[in-house]
Chains A and B, each alone.
Chain A
């Protein structure tokens, strides 16, 4: 194994799938000659040319719709949204068109496309460029939603997403791009299945479920809780938001008896609400204490560094939430 950045892992998945399957193509703003604003599609234009790595004008609704059309007739488009926040300007094409096509046509039509890009805060981009988007997508049947936290999962899941026959939203995070992790050699096939969560840290006192960048904050919080309080947190990385792997979550809670779901986006109507609701419906007997969720307070991210830090449910807040849930154990 070698280590690479998150960006490199995605770039490799794109490159290898484009080599393997001629129907795969990329489309988006500055993805071609420039190699993407965050350099994720670097060097692909040089290898695959302008028919397969397509620079667009700022016409999200147009190119999202065109990707949908191309997918309907058997291509496998990968659309980059420069910032995930821009899904809003092409929302009809994603939600009302691509997502529902298979169902509305009684299964006659498939839309095998990937929508990828970065979301999230932490870099002071402000309200219109920092929104976490996963729960919006999760509300619409017909779309799969992935949000990996490591280069390994990013590469393996992106390969699965490209080969999937449905619209798949693949969510990256601006804070993850330069993080590093282990990856098998380039060219060695790496597939991570969609719909499988992964235990990233084993523990016995509490199950912390998270995904995307927040997962890394959660892992750090877990280490510190261990060192400072002797609390042993199990950290489950969802990786897939839709479909959701509740089995892995319940298996973990069976051991720990406590569940905390953490994400960067708002608590209100977030994935954490879903996870907590599900365990109460499906496996309440596993809980020794009330299940909880931790997300952002309802405000859109401000530019000011101090206010942004205040709002993001990162390490400090995660530790506080775990301690609150484990008062007796810690005491």
Chain B
């Protein structure tokens, strides 16, 4: 029996109200392009997975695009970022080349990690992307460690770490919250609440209804936002980054969104109804942004051109990745120890 997700949509607590940014049409159009790109890459990856070209576990971020694009625009390009196995979108929003991203997922030589890490371990240190992680919660102390390093070295860089609604029940999260707040580390804890932890709706296993309340227990500045609205995400992350850079310590952001695709490629989704997913499509980030752009005078023709352009770019990236060679077998034995 699928559980209604109505019960856990945004609660209207006055202290979490956040004024959305009002961005120029030019900026929003660029954001629209980035979001369409992420969506097309994810859809293409799902198609590749269906045809058997991708093994293991591949988690797409279809529905989470607003989070990644709003975040990327609000932060400096060298701010540290860690995230979960559901991490293609952050990397693409921060500028990872789709060609190398797709090649990595296919396990090819042109992948950014030579095909060794694959879908669950996206990273590019040159873009501040310090690693996606396959273990729930594990990336969160890593980001706090980066924030600590930045503080010690006076770098002025901040860290942001992304995790799901299911991660709050790992002890390491709470250990990290406490130390980060106590030491006023320059970090943003960003929870992508997509209402499900694998096949389990979050209300079934959590004793706390509003996840952002966890951080309040540590005295942390904490808010809940509508993450399907890119202008809201942008505003929230901007404010949190200002606080972090000013030495005011961590911010916890609970971004409410919805995972429109399965938990991972091949998920039969027996735990939720097609109606539930359909209802969420009206508020998904691309739809929200497109509506906003049209309301503010952008013309549909421009948006259609963007979509066509992205379509071609992603098709080319898929082609590139498929033609990329397999890594040399000798690669199997390298990288065990650093030289």
Contact = CB atoms under 8 A, between A and B. Distances in A.
B198 A37 contact: yes
A126 B135 contact: no
Given A58-B169, A58-B170, A305 B57 contact: no
Contacts of A62: 169, 171
Nearest to A56: B205
Contact of B331 (A89, A127, A305, A307): A307
B197 interface: yes
A257 to B, nearest CB: 33
B51 to A, nearest CB: 14
B176 to A, nearest CB: 14
B20 to A, nearest CB: 32
B200 interface: yes
Given A125-B55, A128-B134, A303-B56, A311 B198 contact: no
B136 interface: yes
Nearest to A90: B171
Contact of A302 (B135, B168, B199, B332): B332
A34 interface: yes
Contact of A59 (B117, B169, B199): B169
Interface in B136-183: 136-137, 166-172
Interface stretch (B118-126, B289-297, B301-309): B118-126
A86 B170 CA distance: 12
A57 interface: yes
B270 interface: yes
A124 interface: yes
A2 interface: no
Residue among A34, A127, A302, A311 facing the most chain B CB atoms (10 A cut-off): A302
A304 B198 contact: no
Nearest to B55: A124
B55 A297 contact: no
A298 B334 CA distance: 10
B338 interface: no
Given A59-B169, A128-B135, A297-B333, A304 B56 contact: no
For the side of the interface on A, what is the size category? 35 or more
A1 B73 CA distance: 64
A57 to B, nearest CB: 3
B336 interface: yes
Nearest to B109: A304
A304 B326 CA distance: 8
A55 to B, nearest CB: 6
B13 interface: no
B57 A310 contact: no
Given A304-B326, A304-B327, A126 B56 contact: yes
A61 interface: yes
A303 B170 contact: no
B204 A29 contact: no
A127 B166 CA distance: 22
Contact of A58 (B56, B136, B331): B136
Interface string A280-322: 0000000000000000011100111111001100000000000
Contact of A303 (B119, B137, B205, B326): B119
A299 B333 contact: yes
Contacts of B329: 306-307, 310
A299 B135 CA distance: 19
A58 B197 contact: yes
Contact of A310 (B172, B199, B332): B332
A123 interface: yes
Contacts of B326: 304-306
B151 to A, nearest CB: 27
Given A34-B200, A299-B333, A304 B271 contact: no
B206 interface: yes
A196 interface: no
Contacts of A59: 169-171
B331 A55 contact: no
A303 B169 contact: no
Contacts of A29: 198, 200
Given A37-B198, A303-B107, A55 B116 contact: no
B108 interface: yes
B239 to A, nearest CB: 29
Contact of B56 (A33, A123, A307): A123
A306 B106 CA distance: 11
B115 interface: yes
Contact of B115 (A30, A125, A304, A311): A304
Interface string B204-226: 11100000000000000000000
Residue among A56, A302, A303, A311 facing the most chain B CB atoms (10 A cut-off): A303
Interface in A118-170: 123-129
Given A57-B166, A297-B332, A299-B333, 9 more contacts: A30-B200, A56-B205, A57-B205, A124-B55, A124-B118, A127-B121, A302-B117, A304-B107, A304-B115
CB-based closest 5 A-B pairs = A124-B55, A303-B118, A304-B107, A304-B115, A57-B169
Interface of A: 29-30, 33-34, 37, 55-62, 85-86, 88-89, 123-129, 297-299, 302-307, 310-311
8 contacts: A30-B199, A55-B205, A62-B171, A124-B56, A124-B107, A302-B115, A302-B332, A304-B107
